[in-house]
Structure 1
Amino acid sequence: MLWVKTFHIVFITSWFAGLFYLPRIYVNLAQAQDPASSACLLGMAQRLYRFMTPLAVLAIVFGLWLFLGYGLGSGQGWMHAKLFFVVLLIAYHLACGRLLKVFERQANTRSHRFYRWFNEIPVILLLIVVTLVVVRPF
């Protein structure tokens, strides 16, 4: 079980690195004036999203292995809350993918301020999930 837990933590950490950085690229894309820098940033965003999606899948697979295979947190309130916030993280990840498509079509209408606020969502979700796992308040 410790190996499964280790891989779960490693893939979560890697996935979150992407969730933190990709919206930051969107901030820069929303501010970019130069077509060359926009193209460079768009390429970075595409590669990052393509790389972080398998990391998300592996984080979820190892988490489900812990939950279903070992019964970790089964029937406990904190785990149900954690799973709810994981679903929100998946939705956030997919929203990042939709926003990437908007930038690919050069159809962005949002300001860099929107993306700065959007960038804070995974920080808040990470804080909630870690608190639920460590503190287990219910």
Structure 2
Amino acid sequence: MLWLKSFHIIAVVCWFAMLFYMPRLFVYHAMTDDEAGKERFKVMERKLYRGIGTPSMIATILLGFGTAFHGGMWAYYSQATWFWIKIALVASLVIYHFVCGHYMKRFARGEQVPGHVFFRIFNELPVVVLIAAVILVVLKQPA
């Protein structure tokens, strides 16, 4: 069980690295005027999303459910309100992940995207979710 939890936490950290950094790349990408800079950001965004973000998201979800179902823990988790709130928060992060992918594709195609101010605000959303999720898991409240 501890190995499963350890790898789950590692996957979460890697996924959050992408969730925090991708919108920051969008800020700089939106502010860039030169073509060489835009091409560089396209490569960075694609590699971050596909090489780190998506595999980490998948690992986070699989290892998270692995820990929930390991050793009969599902009976406990399925009755805990905090657990279902955490699942909703994870679902919101999955949606956020795919929204990042949507913006990445729009940047790659040279389409109109929101400005850097939007992405500065957008960048803060996973911070709020992270704080809430950690508090839920540590305090296990509401029961």
Unaligned segments of structure 2, at least 5 residues: none
1:42 and 2:46 aligned: no
SS in 2 for 1:97: helix
Partner of 1:9: 9
Deviations 1:14-53 (A, max 9, x none): 1000110001000011000111011001110000001110
Percent sequence identity is 38
Check conservation: 1:30, 1:108, Cα contact below 8 A.
Answer: no
Pair 1:69 & 2:70 matched: yes
1:18-29 equivalence runs, <5 A = 18-29=18-29
Contact kept? 2:82, 2:141, Cα under 8 Å: yes
5+ residue gaps in structure 1?
Answer: none
Q: CA deviation at 1:108?
A: 2.5
Distance 2:113 2:100 in 1: 15
The residue aligned with 1:80 is 84
Task: Tell me the distance in 2 between the aligned counterparts of 1:126 and 1:34.
Answer: 35
Q: Is the 8 A contact 2:107 2:113 kept in 1?
A: no
Task: Report how far residue 67 of structure 1 moved.
Answer: 1.1
Task: Specify the alignment match of 1:134 in structure 2.
Answer: 138
The number of aligned residues is 138
TM-score with structure 1 setting the length: 0.96
